Structure 1
Amino acid sequence: MNNVSISPAGLEPNLLREQFSYDRPPLIAFDGVNVPMDRPDDLFITDTTFRDGQQARTPYTVRQITELFDLLHRLSGPKGVIRQTEFFLYSEKDRQAVRACQERGYEFPEITAWIRAVAKDFQLVKMMEIRETGILTSCSDYHIHLKLGLNREQAMEQYLSVVRSALDAGIHPRCHLEDVTRADVYGFVVPFVQQLMRLSEESGISVKVRLCDTMGYGVSYPGASLPRSVPRLLHALRTETGIASSQLEWHGHNDFYKVLTNAATAWLYGCSGVNGTLLGFGERTGNTPIEGLLFEYMGLTGDTSVDTRTVTEIADYFERELGYSIPPMTPFVGKSFNVTAAGIHADGIIKNEEIYNIFDTDRLLNRPLGVLVTDKAGTAGVAHWVNRYLKLSGEKRIDKRSEGVQAMYEWVVAQYGDGRTTSLSDEELLGAARRYLPGLFPA
């Protein structure tokens, strides 16, 4: 581990204008430096639905938080794939929610807190008897100089003083390196984490570091430059500070549509934990969706210990209880994510649904493959809808070439004769099926 000192340039802000000019999209710079993958043995997910996720929507009630916490617990599975979830502590309602979840007595997800790097916030963590807390430790000069009005040395000492207070009380600190993908990595980030590792060694208490891609600037491309390169960020911290993978966590935002890719890249390059929220709720474009992380985790590890059908229950809860209309094309949870509209696709599905389905969505998500019936669906689409809706299998399945299906499809086409553009509802199709396929409906 090299001894890296805080940059003297820290007296003046370094805004990295060669990459972040502000009057144009940020430049993705390349210097050709590649680093090796270093995937940890233990990969896990952490949750911030009740912290970052709650900043982007109407606040949850105590009951809603408790019920979502129950669903997160079920989604964690027996191995605790979703290891932790964090809470605000500022209002009495926040604290009531924490107490209600503490009373559940679950091992996973562990309840943690989030505070600013000020002493009075730390008192809340002690009062609530929470073992671990996140601490906001902004690390780019945009935040240190322009938001906090400090220089780097002042910011570092303020952050370290709160970490020392946590360690003195036996509480595990988790430092959130806000805006790390726009920070001076060797001028501030590495020296700060070196100090954290010294405190951790002296105290015997593990200090965690959450790398916060606050503005979604992170990239996964080989040869990309710091501070935007996710592989290079993790490599720098692992090699220069001695921090262990188990102490590292990634927290991303989706401003440039890279949130899941960056999260998976963080796993592959040495970060054990990746942080997300249910349905991706979070500041601006949102955080990494927990449901996306879960399937990425399963793909990387082969672990099938989790009951993924809970994902569908969570989606149903958001729509039914919280009144949130999930965009229909949203992977895994949107109503159209496994529904095909093209007739030629429906024809393939009838032969073998693996042709146009990403996996067995019925078994893994309790979401059977669907066909959107319009005038473009063809007789194959109509036959698939009938068989799926009426649960016909084996010899009972209706063939697309049957006279009844042919007549029903003619009726479908006629519905679009006056310019209709919306798909047909199940109720409309059921009425047509009763008319054209009466033999399927016993008197």
Structure 2
Amino acid sequence: MKPESIRKYRPFPAVSLPDRQWPDRAIESAPIWCSVDLRDGNQALPVPMSIAEKLEMFDLLVGVGFKQIEVGFPSASETEFNFLRRLIEEDRIPEDVTVQVLVQAREHLIRRTFEALDGAKSAIVHLYNSTSPLQRRITFGNASKESIIDIAKKGTTLVTELAAEAEAKGSKITMQYSPESFSDTELDYALEICESVMEIWQPTPERKIILNLPATVEWSTPNVHADQIEWFGRQLKNRDSVIISLHTHNDRGTGVAATELGLMAGADRVEGTLFGNGERTGNLDIVTVSLNMNSHGLETGLDFSDLPTVREVYERTTRMTVPDRSPYGGELVFTAFSGSHQDAIKKGFDRRLEDEREAAGEIVPWGVPYLTIDPRDIGRSYEAIIRINSQSGKGGIAYILDREHGFDLPKTMHPQVGLKIYNLADELGRELTPDEIRDAFFEYFANVSEPMSVVDYELDHSVGERGEVRCRATITLNGEKQNIEGLGNGPINAFVQALDNAGLKQFNLTDYRSHAVRGGSDADSAAYVQLRHNDETIIWGAGVDPSIEMAGLKALVCAWNLLAAKGE
């Protein structure tokens, strides 16, 4: 902003709480969760969900494990009313799930709400009215504090009467009250109005009231929100008869942090939506808070083990999109483009495999650089973790070749392969797919057969007293055939001697590795040969063939060809 614009704003006042306790606390158990996707989330959609879409979303929320679901504002429209009636009349609400309905503290709306709830086994009636100075002055035309309290008291009196009638017919009704705009309401006034509601409802430890303290607008830093929650809980009468509930928004981008600190400050319950859908910058993202707890070893009662399916249903029914960088659910959150990140991730997975083998079935604590959780635990796959573009490094490319195609490249081969392939990505100006990476590996580093190739070869084992191997081979060099022969302590060494005998050896063989290709054809083997030229140039070549011996010869020839090309 320009300086003249900034001068219109004022700091948000702090809470006087010098002996605050929440900074020394930790979240040790999950709160009560309440999804408001079907109400707060739905109201914020450019195109609200149809009844069929709301039914699908309701079933998704039940499947995830929500036991409290705010299903709408049934007094606001026929669609909302009919949706709740359908849930009840078609017996779609599981026995252990409580539906929640929102209603303003107005008589005709409250009565209509209870009509919609007729026959519900368990329901929360969520009564609210605005309480902040800004709302009192602007929305209610300089209304007095007393008049706002009177609205809440009259609404609670009617809810109490109608709840008794509903309970006489077999329904269980829980009262929830929200001083809307709690986040910028005077704390002593918010406490006064909530206790006025409690005096009418008369909660007990066995029949608690829910006091929902919404950050309807996020005005402050998360620590101030935590101070508000702790202050309120410490001053509240009959605290053991109250469930303190949080309902944060994300105007300042810290809705998750405000909720986590609010739980440390003593809150018992959390309202929010999947992926943070909601007014303006959104409601609390329950997916993030729940998985944050999982990442610290806490069970939450919510199951996001198949997060891609949750995301698919959410995006289809809401027509919203989960941003690529959204925690846990975003397309790119388990993707590393940085070469150093890719290398560390690969090393982390490799070490974890070793640790798990050594643990012999015992649980190994999670620990992979740059990954706070195991992507598999939420239905993501390792194949999506590393992507290759011009910013990638040697480790990431080796990771793709290993995990996707089964080629376990020697460590000292990584730089040569990595440099070539990420230069290719740079030339193309785009990301390379795993198949393109494999194809580039074969084009530049495996089974390269020009200018030399092996046409035929024959091995005689256990030759002479020392049991050596004789290699007779037919090769083509620059299109011309020639026969070569050599004797060595193994097939590769014998072939090297054959090249030496033919005057084609200007190198030393300094490394050789081989393995079966994991995940490929059962008959495929891979071999890797490192050659050092007389001028100290070092080159790696790879060979792939059903025969392990032939794979080794192809690797040697490949490395010879790459060395010859480098010398041109």
Normalised to the residue count of structure 2, the TM-score between the two structures is 0.64
Shifted more, 319-328 versus 366-375: the winner is 319-328
Residue 12 (structure 1) aligns with: none
Indicate how the Cα distance of structure 1 residues 100 and 278 shifts in structure 2: closer, same or farther if over 3 A, else same. farther
Aligned residue for 2:126, secondary structure, equals: strand
Given candidates 148, 151, 160, the residue that maps to 1:158 is: 151
Residue 209 (structure 2) aligns with: 207
Task: Give the CA deviation at 1:320.
Answer: 4.9
Distance in 2 separating the partners of 1:295 and 1:42: 11
Task: Give the CA deviation at 1:256.
Answer: 1.2
Indicate how the Cα distance of structure 1 residues 194 and 318 shifts in structure 2: closer, same or farther if over 3 A, else same. closer
Distance in 1 separating the partners of 2:64 and 2:427: 47
Given candidates 159, 174, 183, the residue that maps to 1:181 is: 183
Where do 1:229-240 residues align within 5 Å? Answer: 229-240=225-236
Pair 1:294 & 2:281 matched: no
Residue 18 (structure 1) aligns with: none
Given candidates 84, 98, 117, the residue that maps to 1:110 is: 98
Q: What residue identity is the alignment partner of 1:192?
A: I
Distance in 2 separating the partners of 1:297 and 1:346: 26
Task: Give the CA deviation at 1:283.
Answer: 1.0
Structure whose residues are more often strand by fraction: 2
Indicate how the Cα distance of structure 1 residues 290 and 128 shifts in structure 2: closer, same or farther if over 3 A, else same. same
Shifted more, 255-264 versus 41-50: the winner is 41-50
Task: Give the CA deviation at 1:280.
Answer: 0.2
Pair 1:375 & 2:360 matched: no
Where do 1:355-394 residues align within 5 Å? Answer: 355-368=369-382, 370-390=385-405, 392=406
Distance in 2 separating the partners of 1:116 and 1:430: 62
Pair 1:424 & 2:416 matched: no
Task: Give the CA deviation at 1:432.
Answer: 4.2
Aligned residue for 1:155, secondary structure, equals: helix
Check the 8 A contact 1:45/1:293 in 2, yes or no: no
Q: Could you give the per-residue CA deviations for residues 322-354 of structure 1, whole angstroms, max 9, x where no partner exists?
A: 543321111110011111111112112221131
Pair 1:54 & 2:54 matched: no
Rg bigger for which structure?
A: 2
Check the 8 A contact 1:180/1:213 in 2, yes or no: yes
Check the 8 A contact 1:312/1:333 in 2, yes or no: yes
Pair 1:413 & 2:413 matched: no
Count of residues paired in the alignment = 405
Check the 8 A contact 1:40/1:267 in 2, yes or no: no
Distance in 1 separating the partners of 2:293 and 2:347: 31
Given candidates 60, 67, 92, the residue that maps to 1:71 is: 60
Task: Give the CA deviation at 1:415.
Answer: 3.6
Residue 169 (structure 1) aligns with: 162
Higher relative contact order (CA 8 A, sep 6+): 1
Given candidates 67, 72, 76, the residue that maps to 1:87 is: 72
Residue 83 (structure 2) aligns with: 97
Distance in 2 separating the partners of 1:236 and 1:381: 51
Aligned residue for 1:235, secondary structure, equals: helix
Check the 8 A contact 2:305/2:378 in 1, yes or no: yes
Indicate how the Cα distance of structure 1 residues 42 and 359 shifts in structure 2: closer, same or farther if over 3 A, else same. closer
Q: Could you give the per-residue CA deviations for residues 327-385 of structure 1, whole angstroms, max 9, x where no partner exists?
A: 11111100111111111121122211312211111123434361121122123212222
Distance in 1 separating the partners of 2:403 and 2:145: 62
Task: Give the CA deviation at 1:200.
Answer: 2.5
Distance in 1 separating the partners of 2:48 and 2:434: 34
Task: Give the CA deviation at 1:114.
Answer: 0.6
Distance in 2 separating the partners of 1:208 and 1:190: 13
Query: What is the percentage of aligned positions where both structures have the same residue?
Result: 18
Q: What residue identity is the alignment partner of 1:377?
A: S
Distance in 2 separating the partners of 1:360 and 1:233: 33
Unaligned runs of 5+ in 1: 1-20, 222-227
Unaligned runs of 5+ in 2: 1-5, 164-172, 350-367, 448-516, 525-568
Check the 8 A contact 1:135/1:175 in 2, yes or no: yes
Residue 36 (structure 1) aligns with: 21
Check the 8 A contact 2:12/2:220 in 1, yes or no: no
Residue 129 (structure 2) aligns with: 137
Given candidates 277, 281, 284, the residue that maps to 2:277 is: 281
Indicate how the Cα distance of structure 1 residues 160 and 356 shifts in structure 2: closer, same or farther if over 3 A, else same. same
Distance in 2 separating the partners of 1:389 and 1:99: 51
Indicate how the Cα distance of structure 1 residues 301 and 416 shifts in structure 2: closer, same or farther if over 3 A, else same. closer
Distance in 1 separating the partners of 2:111 and 2:402: 61
Distance in 1 separating the partners of 2:241 and 2:439: 58
Indicate how the Cα distance of structure 1 residues 423 and 124 shifts in structure 2: closer, same or farther if over 3 A, else same. farther
Aligned residue for 1:84, secondary structure, equals: strand
Indicate how the Cα distance of structure 1 residues 179 and 342 shifts in structure 2: closer, same or farther if over 3 A, else same. same
Indicate how the Cα distance of structure 1 residues 114 and 320 shifts in structure 2: closer, same or farther if over 3 A, else same. closer
Q: What residue identity is the alignment partner of 1:413?
A: N
Given candidates 253, 260, 263, the residue that maps to 1:264 is: 260
Distance in 2 separating the partners of 1:295 and 1:46: 16
Task: Give the CA deviation at 1:231.
Answer: 2.6
Aligned residue for 2:344, secondary structure, equals: helix
Q: Could you give the per-residue CA deviations for residues 386-420 of structure 1, whole angstroms, max 9, x where no partner exists?
A: 33334x4xxx64556559x95586244124236x2
Task: Give the CA deviation at 1:258.
Answer: 1.7
Shifted more, 117-126 versus 85-94: the winner is 85-94
Distance in 1 separating the partners of 2:97 and 2:331: 28
Indicate how the Cα distance of structure 1 residues 116 and 32 shifts in structure 2: closer, same or farther if over 3 A, else same. closer
Check the 8 A contact 2:212/2:247 in 1, yes or no: yes
Q: Could you give the per-residue CA deviations for residues 109-129 of structure 1, whole angstroms, max 9, x where no partner exists?
A: 421101111111112221122
Check the 8 A contact 1:264/1:296 in 2, yes or no: no
Indicate how the Cα distance of structure 1 residues 101 and 41 shifts in structure 2: closer, same or farther if over 3 A, else same. same
Check the 8 A contact 1:379/1:400 in 2, yes or no: no
Distance in 1 separating the partners of 2:33 and 2:241: 13
Aligned-residue CA RMSD (Å): 3.1
Residue 17 (structure 1) aligns with: none
Where do 1:19-34 residues align within 5 Å? Answer: 23-24=8-9, 26-27=11-12, 29=14, 31=16, 33-34=18-19
Q: What residue identity is the alignment partner of 2:397?
A: V
Residue 469 (structure 2) aligns with: none
